[in-house]
A = this chain, B = another copy of it.
Amino acid sequence: MDKLRAIDSRMLMGPGPSDVSPRVLEALGCPTIGHLDPQFLTFLDDTRDMLRVIFQTKNPLTLAVSGTGSAGMETCVVNLIEPGDKMLVCIAGVFGMRMAEVAKRTGADVTTINVPWGQVFDEDQVAGAIDKHGPFKVVGIVHAETSTGAAQPLKEICKVVHDSGGLALADTVTSLGGMQVSVDGWKIDACYSGTQKCLSCPPGLSPVTFSPAAQEVITNRKVPVQSWYLDLNLVCQYWGSERVYHHTAPINMSYALYAACRLLLEEGLQPRWRRHMVHHQALKGGLEALGMRYLADPDHQLPMLNAVAAPDGVDEASVRSRLLNEFNIEIGAGLGEHKGKAWRIGIMGESCTRRHVEACLGALGLILSEQGVTGDAEAGVAAASASYSAWQAEPTAE
């Protein structure tokens, strides 16, 4: 296994996976036990309780799907939608497009509305689409659009969805654990996330939660869920007190998610959100000092995902390659219409530290100054440093 031992550790500053704590890696390597072993079932129970705190919900139907975030998206759609049901998808980037595609394959009658990439929806736009083309059984939207770095105003949009009698479906893959996601407070009916972003757990599971109204829809379906693997009416008999075998739960990944949730709650939700904001401000200051421009509406910029245009004349792929190979820093490429033109810099969970921000700005400054894009290789780090000083000087509200 020399090849495994020779893996070069990276600073993971792309759109996910993010760095994983040694405590979570240790959890991964704990002895595998059976999926019906009473010892294991207590981990499921504890994880569900912690996921409820993280999602800020009391929803009974809260669990981790045995697949990555995209499996979570599909789980929500296939369980809520029956063939011919009307669904509205709000598209502001790649992951909104994906949701619409998943919905079409489920037999939904899909309507889409769009804003330019990097922009956000106004609740009136959504209300207008519902008035014109609805009502819709489900309205889906991506909270934190990983392809652009923009945060959609979820609370306001959920309100107009409910006013129309629909169910609000939210993708919080990138936001959960790095900024507020208030499932009960914002009245989100179905919500899915991923483990490999701000939860800082390896990829492989997808936390999901459903409101009682959504659960009722799932329970009272006329047609079976098209996916047997993702059928929550079956899966929840295993997560529930019945413990009926459905499929073999991913034991060791479940340990990892348990450990990652523990770490998150030890830190606390608010301190963690604040941490993401502090380092985002520093990173933003640094990137702008190096001459970079953000792609998203500045009033709705995500803290954990920073999508910036690659400077004119720079071969973005070769810069990413140098960051990876010379500095062991991974950042993400542009996706969709930003392909070849942008970088996506993630500061998620364990990757959201001053060490990460300054290492990334330092390396980027060096490479860009060598290419003559910026005159001052240190400008990024200096700006970040100033930002950190300003935060430290500021009296906290607590």
Shortest CB distance A304–B (Å): 15
Which residues of B lie under 8 Å from residue A67 when comparing CB positions? 66-67, 71, 229
Instruction: Pick from A125-133, A148-156, A208-216, A219-227 the stretch touching chain B.
Output: A219-227
B248 touches A69 (CB 8 A): yes
Q: Which residue of B lies closest to A13 (CB)?
A: B34
Interface size of A by CB at 8 A reads: 72
Query: Is A54 on the interface with B (CB-CB < 8 A)?
Result: no
Query: Is A395 on the interface with B (CB-CB < 8 A)?
Result: no
Q: Mark A94-107, 1 if CB is under 8 A from B, else 0.
A: 00001001100110
Query: Is A330 on the interface with B (CB-CB < 8 A)?
Result: yes
A248 touches B33 (CB 8 A): no
A255 touches B4 (CB 8 A): yes
Which residues of B lie under 8 Å from residue A17 when comparing CB positions? 32-35, 248, 251
Complex Cα distance, B35 from A17, in Å, reads: 8
Q: Mark A63-87, 1 if CB is under 8 A from B, else 0.
A: 0001111110110000000000000
Within 8 A of B (CB), among A157-211: 194, 196, 202-204
B247 touches A70 (CB 8 A): yes
11 A-B pairs besides A17-B251, A68-B249 with CB distance below 8 A are A3-B42, A7-B31, A7-B39, A12-B34, A14-B34, A17-B248, A25-B30, A28-B252, A34-B330, A102-B229, A196-B248
A-side residues, CB < 8 A to B, are 1, 3-5, 7-10, 12, 14, 16-17, 19-20, 23, 25-35, 37, 39, 42-43, 46, 66-71, 73-74, 98, 101-102, 105-106, 194, 196, 202-204, 224-229, 245-253, 255-256, 258-259, 262, 324, 330, 335
- Top-8 shortest CB links A-B: A204-B250, A29-B29, A70-B247, A202-B252, A203-B248, A25-B29, A20-B32, A9-B31
User: Can you name 17 A-B residue pairings with CB atoms under 8 Å?
Assistant: A4-B26, A4-B255, A9-B33, A17-B33, A17-B248, A20-B31, A25-B29, A34-B330, A37-B330, A66-B71, A67-B67, A67-B229, A68-B250, A70-B246, A105-B225, A226-B226, A252-B253
